[in-house]
Every structure is written in C-alpha cells, then in structure tokens.
Structure 1
C-alpha cells in the first residue's frame, strides 16, 4: 500500500502515460517544447511538496514546494494545475478522503496559503488570462510581487480560487467539492483494462462533458466547444472500443493545431489519485 504522497506521484505518472489523450502529451505524443520525459521528471520533482502536504503542512507552502521541484526539468510547466488539485487532496487524505473533507481543507486556507500560491509563479511560466482591471494588482503573473496586495485585501487561497471561477475549471474544483475529480475517480474504478487505458477513456469522457477552460482561454470559446463536441461524438460512439483510429486521428489533429486540453488532464490526474487512495484502481 502506497502513502498518499506516493499515490499522488503515481497518479501524475499514470495520467501522462495514458494514450490517446487528444491534444495532450502522452507516451506516444510530444508537444514541440513539452515532452513525455518532462512530465515524468516533473512528477518526481514534485514529490517533496506532496510529502509536505501528507505530513500536514499548509497547502500554500506545500504547493509552492511541489511547483519548485516540478519546474526543475527543462519543459517548464508540466503539472501546475494537477498539483493545485492534488496538494489539497493529499492534505485531505490525512482524514477520510471525501468531498466534504477536501472542501473543508480548501475552505480553511489562509492569506499565507494564497501567498505561497503566488510565489509558485516565480518558479514557472503558467499561461493565464488577463485579470480584470480592478484585480490588476493581484495578477498571478506578478508572483511574489503581488503578495503585499493579498495581505492588504485579506484574500485567502480559497478566495483567490473563488475569484477565478468560471474561467478556470481547476479553481472551480476548489469551490465545488472537487466534484468532477471524484466523478472521474468513480469512472476509473468502473472502467475496464489497464490503468493507463482507463485514464485515456476517462479523459475522453471528461473532455466530452464540458469545454476545457485552458483551450477556451487560449483559443476561444468556439474552439473549446468544437473540441468538446467532437470528443462527445467519439465517446458516445465508444470509438476507443470500436474505432480507436478515429480517436488517434483526433489526438494527432489537436496536437498539430496546438490545442491542448490541459485542464481536463489535471482533473483526470486528481481522479486517479482519489481512485488509488480508495483502492478502487488496482495495478
């Protein structure tokens, strides 16, 4: 039986090893500047931060440590969003890992946790949309330079996530009890085949349900909806079982277009962790 920190690292590894995952790095596809091995190295580098969370450290400091370690590989940002989900879930695993416990962990975060989250942006380049003019002093791209504004406004990390909805579905998980992450875990438990095949299948199902917010922020709502509609067609027709080449073509097409549903991958990674912790996903 693995520790929660080990299960979180294993979840990161299983997520990137699943294939095909349309538009994302997997064991058969790289992006121009982001490769499979970068994700493997990022998962290893994040380990100390995950162990901090498992030992009861504050969410913000554990997250910053995880990102600092993740960023040591040459691909830069590999798993920022996934770790933003995994760190509080690992912290919650000190008790019974449930939506209610996870919700209490994030609701109890502090301004100091928010400061740790902002300092994490000093270690890695993360794509984010421009903030409203009224929030310019809290632009996360300012990193630690924005920390004084956080304390001046008294914003906790939960507050920061709440302000990021609806444009960021990783933040949405924080304020909805990680509902899609727990649903992904349920689907993983009930899917067939090796864990990496299950991860690919659940990825397609999650993408089919809701436009990926990273795609929407980078390419616009129309492209995000187009990607989701296509994923829904393939999922509804059970293409992975009946016409796997169609899913492979879709995956290649999105890579060629530079359309990366990274938020969907983050949610699948969180689901993998929950399933591993609940021992409903056997390897």
Structure 2
C-alpha cells in the first residue's frame, strides 16, 4: 500500500511522539504538565487538512495555517507547530518537484508576503513560546498575529525573509535557510538504524540533541542550560551502542521534572521521519 505525502507526514508526527525515551519531551511513557501523549495524537490527526492542501499545491502559508488550526483542535495546546513549519514545505516539495534538499529549498525561497501573513495568523490558533523581539522589531512580533500583517506588507517581507531573520536563534528557521540539512541527515540515520522505527526515532533524537544545543531550551532556560543538556546527551549517545536505555530514561525523567523541553530537536525528528517514510523505510 502506497501512502500519500500528506498521510506520511501525519504518520511521521505519530511516530515521533511514540518514540521513547526522548529526554524532556512528551512520548508514549511521559506527559509534561498539562500536555499529554493523547494531545499529540489528536494534534497529528488534526493536521491532515492542511497537509493535504500542501500536497495539492496550496501556498505554504495557507496550508500551514490550516494545519495549525487543525492541530489546535485539542485541549493540550501547542503540540506540533514547529514540526509543521518543516513538514508543510517538505510535503509541498514532494508533490511539486520531488523530495530532495534542493526542491525543499526552492519551495521556501519562493514563499511570498501572503505566506508570511498566513504564518503570523497561525499564532492566533495556539500559544507558541517565542522570545521577545528586538526593540526595532516590535511591530513584527509574531505574537501580534494578524495585527502585524500591515507591517509585513509595508516592508515586503516574505515568509522566507521572516525565517532568515529568525535563523540565528531558531533551529527550525535555520532549516529553511540551510536547505533542510539536518532534516535529511536525520532521515539517513533513521533509514540506517536497527529495530522498530519508533526506536530509531528516539535514537535520532538523542543524536541530534548531542550535536547542537536545542534552540527552544536556549530560549526558555538560557544558553548554559542548553549546553549542559547537549553535553549530557553527547555522553549518553557515546555510551548508547553498548549500554541499555536505563540511563537515557533517567535523563528523560530528569528533564521532564525540571521542565526542560528540547522541542526543536523533536521537530527535526518528525521532519526526518517524513523524509525516511517517503524514501520507503518499512514499518
């Protein structure tokens, strides 16, 4: 049975949250405060309309807002906003030009001011954690939602322009401007891994966390905490080939207790899972 790109994107969201242990993140063994495993399941299913729009050629911003609106139709809040910011252009690239880094880059580089406006409107559907903007960017604070659209239009900023401005401090935005490099590397890891795909996804999560500080952790808890988390993940990743997962589970529980959530890393895993599924990885 061949799944459509929209279905593979939904499945990627489901597989991402089912993988365990993922230090600090919701998975099938862990909830975080009022955000639970079932909220992620419901959020993933709710994205289907927006993902189908992306596959059918609807502009990236419009498809993204529709996916976020569907995702938010559950009581937990923001479950997969960052994931969708990667998946929507990847789905669009798959059906438009074929799934490859250069086609994904082409899709995002050709986004428009209207796409940026829809992206801003998506923040009205769900509460997303963002940093305070620099003083000279206050009128473009994404938390203003549609109120910021006139300023976007006045400046002629496309969605790619918005991501380019955010990329130095945001790992998802960095994927947009760096050709989805880490996404495709994650897909390679998942394809070459062993065992169930959910285990491979959890292994990829730890590997990504070991490589670079998670930008959401840096925003919410500071760069020192993000470095500390990366260093601990690197130690565990180095040991993981010969050890069982008990130490990783302890680390996962510790981060949940501290409220440290490497959400950007989870976004990259979801995107990597989508690419791996489109390439034919077997479940």
TM-score, length basis structure 2 = 0.98
Match of 1:67 in 2: 68
Deviation per CA, 1:156-182: give whole Å up to 9, x if none.
000000000211000000000000000
Report SS of the residue matched to 1:48. helix
What does residue 98 of structure 2 align with? Answer: 96
| C-alpha distance in 2 between matches for 1:219 and 1:20 | 21
Say whether 1:87 aligns with 2:76: no
Q: Secondary structure at the match of 1:14?
A: helix
Distance 2:265 2:201 in 1: 11
Give the aligned partner of residue 38 of structure 2: 37
Equivalent position of 1:249 in the other structure: 250
Q: Which residue of structure 2 lines up, in the alignment, with residue 234 of structure 1?
A: 236
Counterpart for residue 195 of structure 2: 193
Q: Which runs of 5+ in 1 are unaligned?
A: none
User: Distance between the aligned counterparts of 1:165 and 1:96, measured in 2?
Assistant: 25
Identify the residue that residue 155 of structure 2 maps to in structure 1: 153
**3-state SS of 2:111 partner:** coil
List 4+ stretches of structure 1 deviating above 4 A.
none
Root-mean-square deviation (CA, aligned residues, Å) is: 0.7
TM-score when normalising by structure 1: 0.98
Q: What is the distance in 1 between the residues matched to 2:145 and 2:123?
A: 5
Separation in 2, partners of 1:2, 1:138: 39
* Structure 2 segments unaligned to the other structure (5+ residues): none
Q: Map 1:83-162 onto structure 2 (within 5 A).
A: 83-94=84-95, 95-162=97-164
Name the counterpart of 1:174: 176
Residue 271 in structure 1 maps to residue 237 in structure 2: no
1:242 Cα shift? Answer: 1.2
In the other structure, the counterpart of 1:9 is 10
Per-residue CA distance 1:7-52 (angstroms, 9 max, x = gap): 0000000000000000000000000110000000000111100000
